[in-house]
Amino acid sequence: MNQVVILYPVFVQVLLTFLVYGLLATARSRAIAAMDRRDGADLALGRVAWPPAAEKRAANQRNQFELPVLFYAVVAFALITKGVDVVLLGLAWLFVLSRLAHAAIHVGPNRMRWRSPVFALGLLILAGMWLKLFLHILTGGFA
């Protein structure tokens, strides 16, 4: 299998991260436009209470550097060890789909009863990717 195909879900995850940054910038720009201009020093020092739309987007932006960091690492190690196969590629796409769903819920309705299971599913998929890579290494590249 062409090892480089594992980068396609990575590109989608990176695109999601940039999209969330854009959503955050838009929400904060709107909030700043509505602020009293005397809040400039507080804004510069991070002592401004952002409206809920900006807070949700900021939380999701931070979240893009939590689980996805482990995703980037497992993909890099899989490339290095030539461990990319159909199973790992499928898991990578499932992980990214879970991240897309998680982000949509997080910046949208932000219902924990929807968001938590989607996050947990992504975590389990990511654990599966690491297990698959571990087995690949353990078996000398045959798993």
The reported pLDDT for the residue numbered 141 is 82
pLDDT digits (tens, 9 = 90+) for 23-73: 999 999 998 888 876 667 777 777 788 899 999 999 999 999 999 999 999
Residue 65 main-chain phi, psi, to 5 deg = -115, 25
Domain range summary for the chain, segments of one domain joined by +: 3-17+57-138
> In this predicted model, what pLDDT tens digit does every residue of 91-109 receive, in sequence order?
999 999 999 999 999 999 9
SS3 (DSSP) at 110: coil
